[in-house]
Structure 1
């Protein structure tokens, strides 16, 4: 009799724990969605209290800790989650033979619900509310307008000139050849570009940030991506397999995310600014090369003939670099994997204040042209 009572008590306790986890999960989910709704309508409040208040404090703690490790904590976290997920699934299937599938199934669903709710809560309050801050163009005093083909062509010519000049300097030092030591230098020194910008633009900071090279870079390569920012560990992570000349801009792009610049076009532009202000010529060239690619693609869509004419001004060294980059991505192209990755990214971007989806990356061109117009470069 005593055993039966004890068994009933334990069962009730488990049911209570399950209900408690369900309630906690629901509260976390509600808070995260409520914060998102409020933030979307109040960019000034987000900027003042989160982006320049809470976020710099929490992200500095995260990044200071992750800087202690030369490897990516993000990758370790992903592996642990995969192992735990497999454990829960195996346990669920084992429950069939033990005749407690219903109980284990409910427990499994509650844990999934808790994981998703807690993940969304942390995502919002550790990083994603920055999606609703005051736009970067307003903070830097840029006037973005509808792009004319003349402005696009003038920007393309200006970028060709700058890229040709910086590439010529690299040709003298052979700094475009991929090597583990050079890759490590990119990872450890990318932050220095922002240290040059911080005195003029308060939105940036000059704190040391160690960019992590992904051990499983091949997964990103097959998916067609160059980097990822981990909001949980405060780490900018990059795919280290692509040609060396592309890595500096990718690294600076991911650092921009660490600084709370979440929108992809803004991160591309911030990364460009950091690169061209970096003391290392390789970074300068990487910034110009990336901008040249984006602007060139945009010009080609509007006027293939004009794009073809102006592209004749590009040096042979740059054309060789562009060819090597194309060959690299073609070699590892996996349409199925990249389509899935693009679809997931499209959904993510559109649900986080980037209605253009994947096209958001290309809107970097509008910011760049506004910058060049403001500075009188074109």
Structure 2
């Protein structure tokens, strides 16, 4: 066996060993929380985000386009010229997958096995009154009606700075570790794919870059940015990222951010009662015309991008989440409702929040 072949086989073997280690770590969430999420991970994301932050463009997008435009054609050319045997091609492909697999989990993915945020905040044992959901929903609608069309800032960099400032305050109040690193935002040169996959933003675990969809409406931006920053901090659950984004936005000193926080959880509350048409119509009737207009704006924009790409993306992401300790799959997004209702029931008693 030639040396390069031995190296590739060794890398594949290492990835298999790493897979077994991950299965073991999944059984010890407290260990992962202490030694990885709050131990090793902050140093990894500090280093990786500061590295990618040196470039004004998305290193992730640059890498992906490099593979698509040069890597794939090069391999095809080599095969057609019979300079690369199919066995060697498969071995190279398996090696590349093994490297990406280890990189992904080592630099971020192990966070999937950390202690749930609901347990850390002691939200699991909260006793909920019968009207807890309804009263919380009414309050969110009231806040949306009051804040609609009262925006004070409209620049993405100002929004980003406000989100970072609010994160500092919220994490301190919740006694959660504030993860260091480059806090800047990036966007894709080719934004088309984010739209076609109906994606508001994306945190790249490969280079720890926070991307936002440049076609988002202004009142969608703060929540979308805060959500992706939660992923950057190591919160892999979509419900947890939504919950932190909600707290960060609604407790911001800026009215646009506040509106974004309340507005963006509306659809998750409506999704919870989608089978109760009378209750759904009752709550819809409570919305003012401005909020209804915003809801229609968002719905029409996303519907314009629906197609086979969005369906394939949703199905693929659903399977991805389920294979990574998120048993609900994409339905996990709407579990933010349970977080919000439980938190509201004890925020004053436990956290001293009004």
TM-score (structure 2 length as normaliser): 0.91
The counterpart of 1:56, out of the listed 42, 57, 73, is 42
User: Relative to total residues, which structure has the larger helix share, 1 or 2?
Assistant: 1
The answer to whether the aligner puts 1:155 opposite 2:141 as a matched pair is no
Residues 186 and 225 (structure 1 numbering): CA distance in 2 closer, same or farther, change over 3 Å? same
Q: What displacement does 1:203 show?
A: 2.6
The answer to whether the aligner puts 1:92 opposite 2:79 as a matched pair is yes
The answer to whether the aligner puts 1:238 opposite 2:225 as a matched pair is no
Q: Distance in 2 between matches of 1:259 and 1:310?
A: 34
Q: Distance in 2 between matches of 1:36 and 1:201?
A: 28
The counterpart of 2:98, out of the listed 117, 120, 124, is 117
Q: What displacement does 1:192 show?
A: 2.3
The match for 1:23 is 10
Unaligned runs of 5+ residues in structure 2 are none
> Does structure 1 conserve the Cα–Cα contact (< 8 Å) formed by 2:37 and 2:111?
yes
Q: Distance in 2 between matches of 1:300 and 1:151?
A: 18
The answer to whether the aligner puts 1:357 opposite 2:329 as a matched pair is yes
Q: What displacement does 1:248 show?
A: 1.1
The match for 2:312 is 340
Q: Distance in 2 between matches of 1:283 and 1:144?
A: 30
> Does structure 1 conserve the Cα–Cα contact (< 8 Å) formed by 2:108 and 2:205?
yes
Q: Distance in 2 between matches of 1:204 and 1:239?
A: 27
After the TM superposition, which residues 172-321 of structure 1 pair with which residues of structure 2 at under 5 Å, given as runs? 173=152, 182-187=155-160, 189-205=162-178, 207=180, 209-301=183-275, 303-321=276-294
The answer to whether the aligner puts 1:76 opposite 2:48 as a matched pair is no
Q: What displacement does 1:184 show?
A: 4.1
Q: Distance in 2 between matches of 1:232 and 1:289?
A: 31
The counterpart of 1:126, out of the listed 90, 103, 107, is 107
Q: What displacement does 1:145 show?
A: 7.1
Q: What displacement does 1:214 show?
A: 2.2
> Does structure 1 conserve the Cα–Cα contact (< 8 Å) formed by 2:239 and 2:334?
yes
The counterpart of 1:371, out of the listed 317, 324, 343, is 343
Q: Distance in 1 between matches of 2:8 and 2:179?
A: 41
Q: Distance in 2 between matches of 1:322 and 1:144?
A: 34
Q: Distance in 1 between matches of 2:235 and 2:10?
A: 33
Residues 306 and 286 (structure 1 numbering): CA distance in 2 closer, same or farther, change over 3 Å? same
Q: What displacement does 1:147 show?
A: 8.1
Residues 147 and 241 (structure 1 numbering): CA distance in 2 closer, same or farther, change over 3 Å? farther
The answer to whether the aligner puts 1:324 opposite 2:297 as a matched pair is yes
Residues 345 and 331 (structure 1 numbering): CA distance in 2 closer, same or farther, change over 3 Å? same
Q: Distance in 1 between matches of 2:257 and 2:42?
A: 26
Unaligned runs of 5+ residues in structure 1 are 1-11, 176-180
The match for 1:4 is none
Q: What displacement does 1:331 show?
A: 2.0
The match for 1:38 is 24
Please identify the structure whose Cα radius of gyration is greater: 1
The match for 1:66 is 52
> Does structure 1 conserve the Cα–Cα contact (< 8 Å) formed by 2:191 and 2:213?
yes
Q: Distance in 2 between matches of 1:205 and 1:75?
A: 27
Q: Distance in 2 between matches of 1:147 and 1:216?
A: 46
Residues 135 and 210 (structure 1 numbering): CA distance in 2 closer, same or farther, change over 3 Å? same
Q: Which structure 1 residue ranges, 4+ long, deviate > 6 Å from structure 2?
A: 144-149
CA RMSD in angstroms, aligned pairs only? 2.3
Q: What displacement does 1:146 show?
A: 10
* Greater mean deviation of Cα atoms: 189-198 or 343-352: 189-198
The secondary structure found in structure 2 opposite 1:200 is helix
